Structure 1
Amino acid sequence: MQPSQLQSRMAASVMTMMSLWLLFSWRAVALDPQGLLNSQDALTASESLGDEGFGDMPGDVSYEADFGLFDRSIVGRAPQSLVVLSNNEPKALNLQAGDTTCYKVEKKVIFGDNAGNGPRNKTIYVSANTCQQPIYTGQAKGRAPPAPQLMLRVSNSNEAACQSSVKDGINFREGAVTLSYNATDDTYIGIIAPNVTSEFQGVYNFEVAVSLDDFFHRYESRGGAELLWMDSDSTSALLVTRNLTEDADDVSRIMAQQPPYELFVSNSESTATDGLRHSVCGLQNTAQIFASSAGSGAINSPYKTGLTLRGPGRLPKQQFLLVALNASSSYSGTLVKKANATNVQKRQQDERGGPGSILFQATDFQTVSGTNCKVVTDLEFCNEIQYAVPGNDQKFNNTALAKAYDDYAKSMYENFEKVMMQIQCEAGKTSLYSLARNCDDCRTAYKNWLCTVSIPRCENFGSSNPFAVKRNAAQAFPNGTMLDEEERNKLEPFVSSQTSRNKFIDSEIQPGPYKEILPCEELCYEVVQSCPAAIQFNCPQSGTPGFEASYHGRERNGSTVVACNYPGEARTPMSAAQRIVPDAMLLVSGLGVAAAWALR
């Protein structure tokens, strides 16, 4: 049967189209005989993240759209499409294991009005965070492994960035990656999810952003810890940031703002944060405690946060008081500066500001087993106190305990004020007791000393701290138990171990046996240096029995062991440049003792 005229024309058209397709397909391959792997794109990995090298790309991958309201049988597999990214506007997406999705940054976003004017280049900052990852459901021996990390690819070629045939890329590290890229045209960003075994269930979810200013997602590990572990007891811990500014003229402005930081806290035994420790959204989805100023102070809230001037320099810091923790447990706290809080200037010129959030190196801390040391802070009079003190949970909660100590110290200070009334504090400079110090300096130094010695820093009796002194061994613990007889007999010859530093603790608080971290010796020397000789305040000489039972020098070997107590002394080890630097010590000779109105 002969084909009709219409059928003949259709056959001819099909043959012509196939010939053209073969012709241009061959020409396209001939233009790049080495394939897409020879791209000469200039990629510069960030120093802080994303420098683990390149990983293998899974084969035959494509983006599969995820629509929660529709069944996959209706939606089908969506073809890979380009999502356009704008400056400092992050995009989030679900991604199945083995799939790839692609983004485009148009040259008009990069170059603005100069997008069409000849050759040009500009550095753009690409960053991404993993917000969710497949969960291991297999039977692991020991700690369950996290899912493999996502991969980032950036190029001025759609094919090089987004096609499955290209193997190169930069692996995320702990759920985060950053890459600075020298853009000369439209730029393409590929996010690749690795294939996983059947033991992993669930999808990846990530957030990606491009910025012309700086990385939108940042992980900051340089410069030491930003969050300091001050102290803890069996159920609570106190954490404080470093100074928010070093500029005294900026204090009022910062104290009037909302606290700039949020905090993620997880028990170290938890595996939920594994693989996501450098990701803000990842920690927000997995951390056991998320502490922010918005939820601070709520009923049954496991934390309280706010700004404070306690500590070195009387400069602004943010404080986090965590409660309802588990005893004898290790935790990790990760500080994040919120995206809308980067305008807070830190240390005069904040070189770490940026358009998005900044995640800081985690700070590890522990709770203790004993219950007769309690963390107190926010005292009205002794406002520099922020550590664990001898306590008794049978008589006081932490708030009532703090008030009891504060009232006691305040009553002792009244005796000092009576002595100071005899000093001519308002006299002219030529008549003052010192050209370098005045009565206000004396009051400050004495108050610091008084609060530290009347509210001692406490550790469990079983603490391994070699610098801590055993106290109150003859008294029963709050639960009625005693130290074993052998231990009591061994300590009986040592008077300083039988009772506390002052009678108020033994009679009113009744904490039972504990160890005291002695005050730093410069606290005593600063009173002598700052106050008139007429008040007859003296310090015991170093090396004498009176000194050994009352004070200690500073010794830090990079551990969390505190050798002596000074206002603002953190457990987190810091470099010498970050340490609290008190006034130069005045070494006092002789075996002096404090005046009759002062504590020993």
Structure 2
Amino acid sequence: MQLSPRQSRLAAPLLTTPPLLLVFYLLVLFLDFAHAAEATGSGIYSLNKLVPEDTLDEEHGPEPPYPFDFTALEPGLVRRAPPGITGLLNNVRENRNVRPGETEHFVFEAVHIFAGMDDDNNTSDDDGPTKSIQARGYGNETLLYNLNGPEEEPRSRRPSLAPVLHRRQRNPKTVYISATTCMQPQRNTNTSMDPPQISLFVSTSEDNQKPGPDSPRSERLFEAFDEGAVKLSVNATGDVFFSISAPMRNDELFEGDWNFDVAVSTDAFFHSYEDTSGGLLWVDSDSSAAVLTTRNLTDTYDAERVQKIMDSGPQYVMFVDNRDGLATRGVRRSMCGLSRYAPMSAKVAGPFGDKATTFLTTRGPGGLPKQQFHFTNLNPKSTYLGFLAYTGTEPLKRQLGNRPGGGGQVFQATEFETKEGDNCKIITNLDFCNDTEYAVPANDDRFTIAELAQFYDDMARDSYRYFERQLAQVACEAPPEQRYSLARNCTDCAVAYKKWLCSVLIPRCEDFSSDNAFSLVRNVNQSFPNGTRLPDSVISQFPGSKHQKSRHARIDEEVQPGPYREVLPCEDLCYDLVRNCPASLQFSCPRPKQAMFNSSYQVRGDGLTCNFPGSVHNPSGSSMLTASWTVFWVATLAGIGMASL
């Protein structure tokens, strides 16, 4: 004779009960058995009465695909996934291995998808508050079973063993499935082929709980991983089943298995990637170093907001790989894949030390927060790919490890390249010309990078002092009706002059061999730092004084960089200077097509056609806040005059 859980509890005390109570217990057991034998509406939960399958289907729908063990359930605990299927929770990452030709199966159960949304989870018809379990295979029916137990309610309110089915209608809810490849088979020959990608299969049908390559196409959705990442969203009214399947591997070409992260969410994709915008701005590079930066991290000048961003610390990491390299191919959209295979990365306290650094700064246009990345030890004349990835701040990751988007976001790769020659070097962190961050004419035999930056910064600062003396003669503090302009003031003039001065006194340098049509050849008669000279046949192609020297004599005399090309300042820097400053300073600008213009300025266009504070190689799509810059040259001693160098 098989005892129900209730009968077992009643029978347990028999071994220790006094004789007078023994008769009472036996009577209760007898009555309980009799009650169970008479219960005809309890379906599959009838204790000692078999129900034919056709009757079962007729009364309660098809048989559930796996049984419930109600006696094992504790309050608040829901059913378990069937064998061979891993149940996932909302916004919780799962890491798995998958071997070639095998498939890993997962389920996101409706009880988690619709958590907190079902009214039936909170009330029943007769017994007051209950906890709810939804059984698979019953469509839009919910099986309510009171899990409070006899200790929580009086005997008169305990549920009967026969559950009650309540039919309800659910509105579909979007489920976001995402996964990324963390490890992939490695090449074991000289092949340049990429390892094959794994695939995602999704089903919302109870009849296809293990979707995969062998499932009928009509019963599942399919999405192959692309560069180690996949995203797929479905509208769910019940459980969502999905699988990640690995293809067969060519053992002659590859060895090893796949490892991946997978997650589901009802809020947003846990892992994501951008396939339209790189997110990185390539500031500049020399033969061994490069500087890149994010766009502004905010568009507000609210001091409290800006300070909060600066205090939060870097939120991004940047990975670098050679454009033609094989290391990251196949995982270039995967955060965990890039973390494992990228030859170099810049992050806080990263493994590459001062060779790859990152920090927050307000330098550059707008004076707003942005994150900058500085790489060294790069190869000359090489093309690289930079992958920006959002990780969130460390405090945020500690507080909200399982959160929507917790798997990070990878942006489209940004391409950048290094120079061939050694006579252009990047300088940063200037004190006076604080927006200047690009390669300048250099000579490693005469200046270290720090000394070179100081040389150019001091030269600009000294020239600015002459301008200040001229501006001091203007009635800047006079009543409005006596000032030189009702729309401009001396502060506007000083700002415009500084931007122009730093751009014309500190040339933006490119290799002499560069094919940049917007650059101007300089200093062809001087030897390179290594002592070599240009052939006479090449020098003869660049007649005229503008090609024989640098913009400023001190560069040729003290730095001695040799031949190079200069990206000329933008013409609007000069126009802005004239608009903002008083006419008494006699600033004027040459016009396009004039000989003086062609040797001093360049028209702003697409890409890096001219130089200005904060200019970058790939400005298209940039959301950086920029002012209208201008350019003009001033006589070194007087600080005023026609820009003609």
Query: Given the two structures, how large is their TM-score scaled by the length of structure 2?
Result: 0.73
Question: What is residue 571 of structure 1 aligned with on the other side?
Answer: 617
Deviation string, structure 1 residues 369-404 (Cα, Å, up to 9, x no partner):
111011111111101111111011112232221111
Q: Which residue of 1 aligns with 2:296?
A: 243
Question: Contact conserved, 1:540 with 1:593, CA < 8 A, in 2?
Answer: no
Report how far residue 536 of structure 1 moved.
2.1
In structure 2, C-alpha distance between the alignment counterparts of 1:166 and 1:417, rounded to whole Å: 78
Within 5 Å, give how 1:180-195 maps onto structure 2: 180-195=233-248
Does residue 496 (structure 1) correspond to residue 546 (structure 2)? The answer is yes
Q: Cα gap change, 1:478/1:197 in structure 2, threshold over 3 Å: closer, same or farther?
A: same
What's the CA shift for 1:467? 1.4
Instruction: Select the residue among 462, 475, 499 that pairs with 2:513.
Output: 462
SS at match of 1:501: coil
Q: 1:517 to 1:476 in 2, by over 3 A?
A: same
Equivalent residues of 1:100, 1:162 under 8 A apart: no
Partner of residue 288 from structure 1, selected from 343, 346, 356? 343
Answer whether contact 1:235 1:324 (CA < 8 A) is retained. Answer: yes
Counterpart position of 1:534: 584
What is the Cα deviation at residue 311 of structure 1?
2.9
Which residue of structure 2 lines up, in the alignment, with residue 72 of structure 1? none
Contact 2:84 2:105 in 1 (8 A): yes
| Aligned ranges 1:4-403 → 2 under 5 Å | 81-115=84-118, 118-120=168-170, 121-140=172-191, 144-157=192-205, 160-162=208-210, 165-166=214-215, 168=217, 169-199=222-252, 200-222=254-276, 224-249=277-302, 250-295=305-350, 300-340=353-393, 354-403=405-454
Q: Distance in 2 between matches of 1:584 and 1:336?
A: 31
The letter for the 1-side match of 2:215 is V
Distance 2:589 2:637 in 1: 10
Output the CA distance in 1 between the equivalents of 2:450 and 2:629. 35
Which residue number corresponds to residue 415 of structure 1? 466
Call closer, same or farther: CA 1:139–1:474 in 2, change over 3 Å. closer
Number of the residue aligned with 2:46: none
Structure 2: which amino acid aligns with 1:486? S
What are the Cα deviations for residues 40-62 of structure 1, in whole angstroms up to 9, with x where unaligned?
xxxxxxxxxxxxxxxxxxxxxxx
Q: Give the C-alpha shift of residue 312 in structure 1.
A: 2.9
**Residue in 1 that maps onto 2:9:** none
Is the 1:295–1:301 contact (alpha carbons within 8 Å) kept by the matching residues of 2?
no
The equivalent of 1:550 in structure 2 is 600
Q: Quote the offset at 1:532 in angstroms.
A: 1.2
How many residue pairs get aligned? The number is: 506
Secondary structure at the aligned position of 2:540 is classed as helix
1:254 positional shift: 1.6
Aligned-residue offset at 1:96: 0.7
Question: CA contact under 8 A between 2:113 and 2:266: conserved in structure 1?
Answer: yes
CA–CA distance in 1 between the matches of 2:628 and 2:266?
45
Please report how far the alpha carbon of residue 592 of structure 1 lies from its aligned counterpart in structure 2 after TM superposition.
10
CA contact (8 A) 1:232 1:367 kept: yes
SS in 1 for 2:504: helix
Return the alpha-carbon distance in structure 1 between the equivalents of residues 97 and 628 of structure 2: 56
Q: Structure 1 residues 139, 496: CA separation in 2 closer, same or farther (over 3 Å shift)?
A: closer
Q: What is the rounded CA distance, in whole Å, between the counterparts of 2:507 and 2:482 in structure 1?
A: 37
Q: Deviations over 1:22-51 (max 9, x none)?
A: x98xx99xxxxxxx9xxxxxxxxxxxxxxx
Aligned-residue offset at 1:594: 8.6
Please state whether the residue corresponding to 2:600 is helix, strand or coil.
coil
Which residue in the other structure is 2:639 paired with? 597
Where 2:592 maps in the other structure, the secondary structure is: coil
For 2:332, the aligned partner's letter is R
- The alpha-carbon deviation at position 356 of structure 1 amounts to 3.8
Letter in 1 for 2:342: A
Cα distance in 2 for partners of 1:114, 1:526 equals: 60
The answer to whether the aligner puts 1:583 opposite 2:621 as a matched pair is: no
Q: CA deviation at 1:173?
A: 0.9
| Cα distance change on mapping 1:110 and 1:340 into 2, 3 Å | farther
**1:106 positional shift:** 2.3
Which residue pairs with 2:562 in the alignment?
Answer: 512
Q: How far apart are residue 313 of structure 1 and its match?
A: 2.2
CA distance in structure 1 between the aligned counterparts of 2:381 and 2:299, rounded to whole angstroms: 36
Q: CA deviation at 1:368?
A: 1.4
Deviation at 1:584, TM superposition (A): 8.4
Deviates more, 1:92-101 or 1:202-211: 92-101
d(CA) in 1 for partners of 2:440, 2:579? 28
* Secondary structure class of the residue paired with 1:412: helix
Unaligned 5+ residue runs, structure 1? Answer: 1-22, 29-35, 37-78, 345-352
Please state how far the C-alpha of 1:508 moved relative to its aligned partner.
Answer: 1.3
Q: TM-score, normalised by structure 1?
A: 0.79
Q: In the alignment, what sits opposite 1:5? A: none
Assess, with a 3 A threshold, how the Cα gap between structure 1 residues 395 and 188 changes in structure 2: closer, same or farther: same
More deviation, 421-430/313-322: 421-430
- Decide whether the 8 Å contact of 1:342 with 1:354 is kept in 2: no
In the alignment, is the contact (CA less than 8 A) between 1:339 and 1:356 conserved in 2? no
1-structure distance, mates of 2:493, 2:564: 32
Task: Assess, with a 3 A threshold, how the Cα gap between structure 1 residues 406 and 355 changes in structure 2: closer, same or farther.
Answer: same
Offset, 1:182? 1.3
Flag structure 2 segments of 5+ consecutive residues without an equivalent: 1-51, 58-64, 66-81, 122-167, 398-403
Runs ≥4 residues deviating over 6 A: 341-344, 591-595
Q: Distance in 2 between matches of 1:286 and 1:150?
A: 18
Structure 2 CA distance for aligned equivalents of residues 422 and 96 of structure 1:
80
DSSP 3-state at the match of 1:290: strand
CA–CA separation in structure 2 for the residues paired with 1:159 and 1:477: 75
Matched position secondary structure for 1:112: coil
**1:153 partner amino acid:** F
Residues 158 and 268 (structure 1 numbering): CA distance in 2 closer, same or farther, change over 3 Å?
A: farther
Give the conservation status (yes or no) of the 8 Å contact 1:260–1:342: no
What is the distance in 1 between the residues matched to 2:331 and 2:209?
24
Which residue identity lines up with residue 147 of structure 1 in the other structure?
A: P
Output the CA distance in 2 between the equivalents of 1:364 and 1:465. 17
- Which moves more between the two structures, 418-427 or 446-455? 418-427
Q: State the shift of 1:104 in Å.
A: 2.1
- CA separation of 1:445 and 1:225: change in aligned 2, threshold 3 A: same
SS in 2 for 1:113: coil
Equivalent-residue separation in structure 1 for 2:315 and 2:439 (angstroms)? 26
Within 2, Cα distance between the matches of 1:132 and 1:407? 51
The secondary structure found in structure 2 opposite 1:336 is strand
Is the CA contact (8 Å cut-off) linking 1:475 and 1:513 kept in structure 2?
A: yes
Whether the aligned pair in 2 keeps the contact of 1:468 and 1:516 (CA below 8 Å) is: yes
Q: Secondary structure at the match of 2:603?
A: coil
The superposition leaves residues 247-271 of structure 1 with CA deviations (integer Å, 9 ceiling, x where unpaired) of 1113232222202111011011211
